[in-house]
């Protein structure tokens, strides 16, 4: 025991501390590790050359967009004759039905004398009712009783009870909707069951002018909210794309600001020739692919059909089993990142 304490134990401690010291020195000053193995690949930013086969498949051109439920913009009821406001048929806040009078204009009109009668013609008093062409509520009046008005003056504002589902579509995805369906399928999480939303159109809702009136004379005017057909769709990629909207049915209970998902089915093609959309230059009507023969790519014109954003239908120009380049020659990664017709299929 005395030998263990005086000889063995001190020697063991010295060995332990020596090992620790050597390890620390190697960690601090040693750099003898070999360089990590290299793969031999150098980043170039170019798409590697690879081939894709022409095969048969199904293309379902279904575009899914996110958006919101929005109440239609208020409309104004305008006077269409000079005169004075003679009567308000409804108070502010009251409901108004289509065809119901909103206000009345009293107008004095002087007719020119006829024949040899040189007496000055007396003014004729006429009354013109302005009728509602959209149902809603009277939000406000811009005039008071007996206030003078001229033709075109906005007198009343009607807050509508109709809604639309509105989303944003990328300009490149508009190519997938060249044959615009009339409706879309709208889903609201936690809301009513999915419903069909009609009057589908690209472009912002606009204000139209419709003449309505009373049998007493010419009609009054009210500007109802309506839709254009496919419009310019300005906005670009940076601006979030064009607006696409559809009309929510009157019997579906919704609220302004609800989040929704819009699914647009623009066609389906079964058992057709398909290729990756990355292999085609051009996305509408006709395009170009590069057919690989004996290892050499040769450009060939093809006729295009439906696209689901990942694959495109080939209607003419290729045969099943042919090999083509999977990527357009010279394409950069940015070209393949959503700018060649990709979408939600």
DSSP H or E run through 15? helix 9-29
The CA distances from residue 205 to 68, 202, 233, 247, 320, in Å, are 15, 9, 12, 10, 45
The 3 state secondary structure assigned to 20-50 is HHHHHHHHHHCCCCCCCCCCCCCCCCCCCCC
Instruction: Report how far residue 218's alpha carbon sits from residue 244's, in angstroms, rounded to the nearest whole number.
Output: 36
| Whole-number pLDDT of residue 281 | 92
Phi/psi class of residue 199: alpha, beta or left (left: φ > 0; alpha: ψ in -120 to 50)?
left
Instruction: Report how far residue 126's alpha carbon sits from residue 82's, in angstroms, rounded to the nearest whole number.
Output: 11
Q: What burial class does residue 117 get, using C-beta atoms within 10 Å of its C-beta: 0-12 exposed, 13-18 middle, 19+ buried?
A: exposed
| Whole-number pLDDT of residue 196 | 96
- Model confidence at 178, pLDDT cuts 50, 70, 90, reads confident
Q: Is the pLDDT of residue 226 over 60?
A: no
Q: Please identify which residue in the block is written with the tokens 């689901």.
A: 308
| Whole-number pLDDT of residue 192 | 95
The CATH number fitting domain 75-110+122-160, selected from 3.30.70.980, 3.40.640.10, 3.30.1180.20, 2.40.50.100: 2.40.50.100
Q: Is the pLDDT of residue 53 over 80?
A: yes
Q: Is the pLDDT of residue 133 over 60?
A: yes
Q: Is the pLDDT of residue 125 over 50?
A: yes
Task: List Cβ neighbours of 206 (8 Å cut-off, separation of 6 or more).
Answer: 225, 226, 227, 228
The region of weakest confidence among 69-83, 110-124, 231-245 is 231-245
Identify the CA nearest to 283 among candidates 293, 271, 275, 291: 275
Do domains 51-60+267-336 and 75-110+122-160 share one topology? The answer is: no
Q: Is the pLDDT of residue 20 over 70?
A: yes
E runs forming strands in 277-321:
286-293, 296-307, 311-316
In this structure, what DSSP letter does residue 2 have? H
Instruction: Report how far residue 223's alpha carbon sits from residue 213's, in angstroms, rounded to the nearest whole number.
Output: 13
Average per-residue pLDDT for the chain: 80
The 3 state secondary structure assigned to 159-188 is EECCEEEEEEECHHHHHHHCCCCCCEEEEC
Q: Is the pLDDT of residue 33 over 70?
A: no
Q: Please identify which residue in the block is written with the tokens 């601090």.
A: 28
Q: Is the pLDDT of residue 229 over 60?
A: no
The CA distances from residue 316 to 59, 302, 310, 320, in Å, are 16, 6, 19, 11
Identify the CA nearest to 138 among candidates 167, 159, 114: 159
The region of weakest confidence among 28-37, 243-252, 285-294 is 28-37
CATH class of the structural domain 51-60+267-336: mainly beta
Q: Is the pLDDT of residue 233 over 90?
A: no
For the stretch 41-66, what's the b/e string if a residue is b when 16 or more beta carbons lie within 10 angstroms of its beta carbon? Answer: eeeeeebeeebbebeeeebebbbbbe
Q: Is the pLDDT of residue 116 over 70?
A: no
Q: Is the pLDDT of residue 103 over 70?
A: yes
Q: Check residues 273 and 233 and name the one with the higher pLDDT.
A: 273
The domain segmentation of the chain, as residue ranges, is: 51-60+267-336, 65-71+163-208+226-266, 75-110+122-160
pLDDT tens profile 142-165: 999 999 999 999 999 999 989 999
- Model confidence at 31, pLDDT cuts 50, 70, 90, reads low
The region of weakest confidence among 104-108, 118-122, 170-174, 302-306 is 118-122
The CA distances from residue 151 to 77, 78, 110, 130, 140, in Å, are 11, 8, 17, 12, 19
Three-state secondary-structure class, residue 14: helix
pLDDT tens profile 194-222: 999 999 999 754 434 344 444 334 433 33
State pTM to two decimals: 0.62
Instruction: Report how far residue 241's alpha carbon sits from residue 229's, in angstroms, rounded to the nearest whole number.
Output: 16
In DSSP terms, which residues pair with 160 in a beta bridge? 136
Q: Name the range with the highest mean pLDDT among 100-104, 113-117, 176-180, 221-225.
A: 100-104
Three-state secondary-structure class, residue 13: helix
pLDDT tens profile 254-307: 999 999 999 999 999 999 999 999 999 987 789 999 999 988 999 999 999 998
Q: Which two tokens stand for residue 221?
A: 């005017």
| Whole-number pLDDT of residue 44 | 58
The CA distances from residue 105 to 87, 100, 135, in Å, are 7, 15, 21
Instruction: Report how far residue 240's alpha carbon sits from residue 173's, in angstroms, rounded to the nearest whole number.
Output: 12
| Whole-number pLDDT of residue 237 | 38
């Amino acid at each position: 025991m005395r030998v263990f304490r005086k000889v063995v134990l001190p020697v063991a401690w010295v060995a332990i501390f020596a090992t620790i010291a050597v390890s620390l020195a190697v960690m601090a000053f040693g750099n003898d590790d070999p360089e990590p193995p290299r793969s031999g690949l150098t980043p170039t930013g170019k798409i590697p050359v690879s081939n894709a086969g022409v095969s048969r498949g199904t293309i379902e051109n279904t575009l899914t967009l996110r958006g919101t439920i929005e109440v239609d913009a208020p409309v104004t009821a305008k006077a269409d004759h000079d005169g004075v406001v003679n009567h308000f048929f409804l108070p502010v806040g009251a409901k108004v039905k289509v065809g119901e009078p909103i206000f009345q204009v009293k107008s004095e009109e002087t007719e020119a004398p006829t024949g040899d009668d040189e007496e000055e013609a007396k003014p004729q008093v006429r009354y013109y009712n302005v009728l509602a062409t959209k149902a809603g509520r009277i939000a406000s009046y811009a005039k008071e009783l007996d206030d003078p008005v001229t033709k075109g003056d906005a007198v009343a504002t009607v807050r509508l009870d109709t809604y639309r589902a509105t989303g944003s579509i990328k300009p490149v995805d508009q190519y997938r909707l060249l044959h615009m369906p009339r409706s879309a399928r709208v889903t609201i999480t936690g809301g009513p069951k999915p419903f069909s939303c009609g009057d589908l159109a690209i472009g912002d809702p606009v204000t139209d002018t419709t003449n309505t009136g009373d049998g007493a004379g010419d009609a009054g005017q009210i500007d109802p909210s309506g839709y254009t057909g496919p419009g310019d769709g300005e906005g670009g990629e940076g601006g979030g794309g064009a607006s696409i909207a559809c009309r929510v049915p009157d019997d579906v209970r919704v609220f302004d600001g609800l989040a929704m998902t819009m699914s647009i089915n623009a066609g389906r093609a079964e058992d057709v020739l398909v290729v990756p959309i990355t292999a085609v230059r051009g996305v509408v009507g006709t395009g170009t692919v590069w057919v690989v023969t004996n290892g050499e790519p040769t450009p060939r014109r093809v006729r295009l059909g439906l696209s689901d954003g990942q694959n495109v239908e080939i209607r003419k120009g290729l045969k099943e089993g042919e090999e083509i380049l999977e990527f357009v020659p010279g394409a950069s990664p940015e070209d393949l990142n959503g700018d060649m017709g990709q979408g939600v299929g």
